[in-house]
Amino acid sequence: MRDKLTTLEEAAAQVKTGAQVVMSANMQGSPMALLRQVVRQGTRNLRVVGVVHGAINIDFLVGAGAVASVDTASLTLGEFARTGPNFARYVQAGRVRALDNT
């Protein structure tokens, strides 16, 4: 049987520039180590889909400059922020395209 375990670097390498990435909104279970590695490898122009909405995972990728568009109903940081600060700043500056899927 094939070994399914892989390194963080190998897993992140599967996320290519221009890819579509789907993530759930979960402040407790966000794969932040993987997302940091995706940013370190220089991945850009991602289309990120937040199911049902987005959280720190998407806001981090936006703030790192890795995202071209975000397709979600909302992006919040729960009780910490009404709107993801990077998301709001990048959308207002026209650096990220926000697609509303409410």
Q: pTM for the complete prediction?
A: 0.91
What mean pLDDT do residues 68-75 have?
A: 94
Query: Across the strands, what pairs with 100?
Result: 72
What mean pLDDT do residues 53-69 have?
A: 95
**Domains of the chain by start residue, with CATH:** 15-100 (3.40.1080.10)
pLDDT at 59 over 80: yes
Tens digit of pLDDT for each residue in 88-102?
Answer: 999 999 999 999 887
The per-residue pLDDT of the chain, averaged, comes to 92
Band of pLDDT at residue 25, cut at 50, 70 and 90: confident
Task: Give the DSSP letter of residue 80.
Answer: G
Taking only Cα atoms into account, the Rg of the chain, rounded to an integer number of angstroms, comes to 14
Helices (H), 1-102: 8-13, 32-40, 56-63, 85-92
Q: To 10 degrees, the CA torsion angle through 67, 71, 74, 79?
A: -40
Position with higher pLDDT, 4 vs 38 = 38
| CB-based contact 96:68 (threshold 8 Å) | yes
